[in-house]
Amino acid sequence: MSQVEESIEVDVPVRIAYNQWTQFETFPHFMDGVERITQVNDTLTHWETKVAGVAREFDAEITEQIPDERVAWTTVGGEAKQAGVVTFHHLADSKTKVMLQLDYDPEGFTENMGDKLGFVKRQVTGDLKRFKEYIEARGTETGSWRGEV
């Protein structure tokens, strides 16, 4: 199992950053390689990805969700094994630190080589930068889910 930890500061309040992160179906706008996410119910999402030419589908279950604080998940079926948590930290009224921790299990030679070369870390860094650009350009969230899991 490999792990990545990355963070970024975004120039929006915690509530806006958190609310946007709960809109999983918008992830393809800022996550490279994510083709589509379908929200199945309050705690289950279905992902379709294509990274380095490899298409994968999997389900992810939200295991913990606390408004304005954290969203944690783990895969429960399909072609990927990962778990993670994203946390939101108030820095100022209009500044939030978004921290992502991801545990993943690379499969096969290509994924293991990519892992050793830091591909996933660069991917996460890029995705967080694109999230920052996406939410700051909008200035507000596209929606929200304020429930707890």
How far is it, in rounded angstroms, from Cα 121 to Cα 127? 10
**In a domain? residue 78:** yes
Q: Does 37 reside within a domain?
A: no
Distance of CA 123 to the CA centre of its chain: 11
Domain membership of residue 122 (yes or no) is yes
24-61 tens-digit pLDDT: 999 999 999 999 999 999 999 999 998 877 889 999 99
Q: What is residue 106's predicted lDDT score, i.e. its pLDDT?
A: 85
Within a domain: residue 12? yes
> Phi and psi (nearest 5°) for 72?
-120, 150
Is 107:57 a contact under the CB 8 Å cutoff?
Answer: no
Q: Do the domain assignments include residue 118?
A: yes
Range of 6's domain? 2-22+63-138
Residue 102 sits in a domain whose CATH number is: 3.30.530.20
Let me know if residue 47 belongs to a domain: no
Question: How far is CA 99 from each of CA 43, 80, 124, rounded to the nearest angstrom?
Answer: 21, 22, 11
SS3 for the chain, per residue?
CEEEEEEEEECCCHHHHHHHHCCHHHHHHCCCCEEEEEEEECCEEEEEEEECCEEEEEEEEEEEEECCCEEEEEEEEECCCEEEEEEEEEEECCEEEEEEEEEECCCHHHHHHHHHCCHHHHHHHHHHHHHHHHHHHHCCCCCCCCCCC
**Does 68 fall in a domain?**
yes
What confidence tens digit (pLDDT) does each residue in 67-112 have?
A: 999 999 999 988 889 999 999 999 999 999 999 999 998 888 888 8
Chain centroid offset of residue 93 CA: 23
Number of domains in the chain: 1
pTM across the whole model: 0.94
